Amino acid sequence: MKWKELVFGEVVSFCNNIGSRTFSLQDFIKAKLEIFINAKPDNKHVEAKIRQQLQFLRDENKVTFLDNSGHYTLRDIYLLDLEKEETKTLDLTKEEPEKREYIVETYVRRVKWAEQAKEILGDRCLYKECPNTFTKDDGTKYIEVHHIIPLCKGGEDGLWNLSVLCAHHHKMAHYGNERARRDIESFLLNEVKRRI
Ligand SMILES: [Zn+2]
Ligand SMILES: [Zn+2]
């Protein structure tokens, strides 16, 4: 197997294992070095090779570098096993693509990337300093996670395409008229870019 496919395959399996699309290179290498050494016994610079392959994968938009400290996010695959598990009880085949997006977003609450979005973007609606929220029994604020560009329209399942919205603006982002949808989309894309 070629290096690039090998690395990508191991990244997918690693993300499935840890249940998160975001991972650190350090953890990845710690968990997988043995596998690469066994697969490519002649290579004396396995770690450097892995880094290089991750750069190739980034150039192909399969992974993104989140920061300079070796954190990456896996893109390119629609749902991790965990996320599939979460949506298994929903019959998505009957839904329109747009509706399906919303259902996946709404139901897949426990998955880690949604948690990461809240950690990084906070628990306040990102739309124009909107104050809408309420406190839940566990003391946390209610907030919804939204794909700014829907997956069905080529949007990516990663932080750069996620935002947090109140229930009202989340509905508006999906069901408002075209002008309202465009307005909220471009506003959110800028807002998220500033924050991550
Ligand atoms: Zn949404
Ligand atoms: Zn709002």
**Residues 61 and 114 grouped into a single domain:** no
- How many whole angstroms from 115 Cα to the centroid of ligand 2? 19
Q: Could you tell me the pLDDT band of residue 121, with boundaries at 50, 70 and 90?
A: confident
Of 61-65, 71-75, 106-110, the poorest mean pLDDT is in 106-110
90-113 confidence digits (pLDDT tens): 777 777 777 777 777 766 655 666
170-190 confidence digits (pLDDT tens): 999 999 999 999 999 999 999
Q: What is the rounded CA–CA span in Å between residue 105 and residue 85?
A: 14
Chain centre to alpha carbon of residue 89 = 21
Task: Decide if 83 is inside a domain.
Answer: no
Nearest to 43 by CA among 7, 11, 67: 7
Asked if residue 122 is part of any domain, the answer here is: yes
Compute, in angstroms, the gap from residue 178 CA to the centroid of ligand 2: 18
Domain identity same for 103 and 160: yes
CA 56 to chain centre: 20
Same domain (yes/no): 105, 179: yes
Residue 79 lies in a domain: no
Partners of residue 71 on adjacent β-strands: 24
Question: Which pLDDT value is given to residue 46?
Answer: 93
Ligand positioned closest to the Cα atom of 103: 1
84 in a domain, yes or no? no
pLDDT of residue 40: 92
In terms of domains, do 44 and 98 share one?
no
Same domain? 62 vs 107: no
DSSP code, position 47 = H
Ligand with an atom nearest the CA of residue 127:
2
Cα-to-centroid distance, 99 and ligand 2 (Å): 20
CATH value at residue 179 = 1.10.30
Range of the domain at 16: 3-74
Residue 117 has pLDDT above 70, yes or no: yes
> How far, in Å, CA of 175 to CA of 96, rounded?
13
Q: Mean of the pLDDT values across residues 55-62?
A: 90
Pairwise CA distance, residues 191 & 69, whole Å: 23
> Which residues have beta carbons under 5 A from ligand 2 (an ion)?
125, 127, 130, 132, 166, 169
Whether 41 is in a domain gets the answer yes
Instruction: Tell me the C-alpha distance between 24 and 51, whole Å.
Output: 12
Task: Report the share of the chain in percent with pLDDT over 70.
Answer: 92
Residue ending a domain, among 42, 74, 106, is 74
Distance 134 CA to ligand 2 centre (A): 12
* Separation of CA 118 and ligand 2 centre (Å): 15
How many angstroms separate the CA atoms of 125 and 167, rounded? 9
- Cα distance between residue 82 and residue 143, in whole Å: 22
154: left (phi over 0), alpha (psi -120 to 50) or beta: left
Residue 135 contacts residue 142 (beta carbons within 8 Å): yes
Quote the number of domains for the chain.
2
Q: Look at residue 86 and tell me if it is in a domain.
A: no
